[in-house]
A and B are shown apart, each in its own frame.
Chain A
Amino acid sequence: MSQMFDGVRIVGAGQATYAKKSDRSLQRLMYEAGSAALNSAGLSWKSVDGLAVTCFLLPPDNAPTVAEHLGLETRFMFQGLYGGASGIIGMAHAARAIRDGVCDVALIVAADSFDVAAHNETLDHFNGSIKEFMSPQGFGGANGMFALHTRLYMERHGATSEDFGRFCIALRENGLRNPNSLFKQPLTMDAYLNAKPIADPLRLYDCVMPCIGGDAIVLASEKIAAGLKGPSVRILAAEEIHNYPANDPYQVPGGWLGLQERLYSRAGVTPQQIDFAQVYDDYPVMSFIQLEGLGFCKPGTAHEFVRQHDLTTRGDFPVNTGGGQLSAGQAGASGGMIGVYEAVAQLLGQAGERQVKCRRGVVSGYGMIAYGRGLCSSAAILERVE
């Protein structure tokens, strides 16, 4: 049922070293992540003939100038304009290009070099509606925007601060097993609830820490993949949807309910057959909405789901097994790639101390916040092939 990506495999995954401060250039971060991903695949830079790049701070540079900088000759190119949904979308576009014979080996890479000031500066000019009708009004940045969604979710569904805390604490436990995660101390409920208020009801640990980093995966044709050692990963389905539902930021602030049916019917599997989820965790409430939109629980019940399930790598339903953005850090646009990296690393068996037993996983992305919500939602179901 997955003809859309037949003949294509994901063969490698890698990361640049995450850091709170660093003077590495964006191209250097992409090079580090790309080298790690190619090494894990057993491929060289010379084999790369397709490139997908997502990076908020890259302009005036762009995907072609990244190819020039790194010395790559490419026949396929993609530059992600969908914020944190771009990692999955770039992967899907590149996979179709490989399927159609446009290129043979595609590097999907994201990187950014962010701190709080760069984050706010980027967001303030993100697009016209924010610039004109949210920023002058004092929206408080992404924190303010998602505080509105968090309060509404709590009031509509009866979720509590402790429910969001449970999610953040589980991710922190996962992050402690990931050497590339920036938070190195366990998070207690007491510390979560008593953290500095940022934009009520959000407190410090509901908000990601802007940081420096990069993430990458490598796609190859089945023919090339057959010559490589070890397992590979198939894309069973990958979907994107934008501005869904149109003209309604507060019914559901994301599009996964609008892509769920296609995602699972194309993949030919059910949510019960998924071993882990890597969801976009810019704020816990959006992760809740993804767990619901991706079919792991009914809309409005994710707070009950996180009470009933253990989301750690030792648990019955591991979520964001590398700690996610909430515990690893948000390297700008690489926040939309870190889940893709983690899903592939898990399925290839390269996740070290945080490795979970898995054959199939889901990864989702979310991005391009505009008039009150993110406009772009994406998701993919990936499966290990021995």
Chain B
Amino acid sequence: MLKPQPRVTPLNRPFWDGCNDGKLMVQHCAECGKHVFYPRACCPFCQADALSWTQASGQGTVISHTTVRRTHHDGFNEEAPYVFAAVELAEGPCLYAQLPDAPVEGESLIGRAVRAVFVPHGPGQKIAAFQLA
């Protein structure tokens, strides 16, 4: 079964196109200098109309993680159990993604360094995931 697919919009298209091109794209505020994710209409830190897209390093740190055993959508049943994490990018923003090669049982991964990879998600669409560095 197909997983939930992103609804690509003018606002978020650079991110999803970036996934297909192997680039982790986030927004950057020229006014306050902060990086922003998820895609916004204005900077949520300073409300300036000064966002533009930039390629992030793909480096990050695990904020927290879980092993999903009961999925929220049948499209994930085949790969469960899997590790799902909140990752703090080196640039600052939080991004949610799977850690496909992380152990589903065992020690805490909080604070572990990770790097972005891009994996098939659906017809013509890749999605960001992370590997333990």
Interface residues of A (CB under 8 A from B): 120, 123-124, 129, 131-141, 143-144, 147-149, 151-152, 155, 196-202, 246-247, 249-250, 371-372
Please provide the 5 A-B residue pairs with the shortest distance between their CB atoms, ordered closest to farther. A141-B72, A147-B66, A140-B68, A148-B64, A200-B67
- The reply to whether A137 and B72 contact each other, CB–CB distance below 8 Å, is no
- The answer to whether residues A135 and B68 also contact, given A155-B110, A247-B45 and a CB cut-off of 8 A, is no
Interface residue tally on B, bucketed by range: 35 or more
- The reply to whether B69 and A139 contact each other, CB–CB distance below 8 Å, is no
- The reply to whether A135 and B73 contact each other, CB–CB distance below 8 Å, is yes
- The reply to whether A132 and B66 contact each other, CB–CB distance below 8 Å, is no
Apart from A120-B72, A372-B94: 7 A-B pairs, beta carbons within 8 A: A132-B38, A151-B65, A155-B108, A199-B66, A199-B67, A250-B63, A371-B38
The closest CB in chain A to the CB of B125 belongs to: A136
Residues of chain A lying within 8 A (CB to CB) of residue B57: none
What is the interface of chain A mostly: helix, strand, loop, or mixed?
mixed
Interface residues of B (CB under 8 A from A): 3-7, 12, 37-38, 44-45, 63-73, 76, 79, 82, 84-86, 94-98, 105, 108, 110, 121, 127-128
- The reply to whether A136 and B4 contact each other, CB–CB distance below 8 Å, is yes
A135's partner among B45, B69, B72, B86 (CB-CB below 8 A) is B72
Determine how close the nearest CB of chain A comes to the CB of B123; give it in whole angstroms: 13
- The answer to whether residues A138 and B84 also contact, given A132-B12, A151-B110, A246-B44 and a CB cut-off of 8 A, is yes
State A132–B105 Cα separation when bound (angstroms): 28
The closest CB in chain B to the CB of A151 belongs to: B64
Residues of chain A lying within 8 A (CB to CB) of residue B12: 132
A143's partner among B70, B86, B94, B128 (CB-CB below 8 A) is B70
- The reply to whether B38 and A133 contact each other, CB–CB distance below 8 Å, is yes
State A135–B97 Cα separation when bound (angstroms): 10
- The reply to whether B66 and A144 contact each other, CB–CB distance below 8 Å, is yes
- The reply to whether A199 and B69 contact each other, CB–CB distance below 8 Å, is yes
Question: Interface centre among A120, A134, A140, A372, by most B CB within 10 Å?
Answer: A140
- The answer to whether residues A199 and B68 also contact, given A135-B73, A148-B63 and a CB cut-off of 8 A, is yes
State A287–B95 Cα separation when bound (angstroms): 25
Determine how close the nearest CB of chain B comes to the CB of A314; give it in whole angstroms: 34
Residues of chain A lying within 8 A (CB to CB) of residue B66: 140, 144, 147-148, 151, 199-202
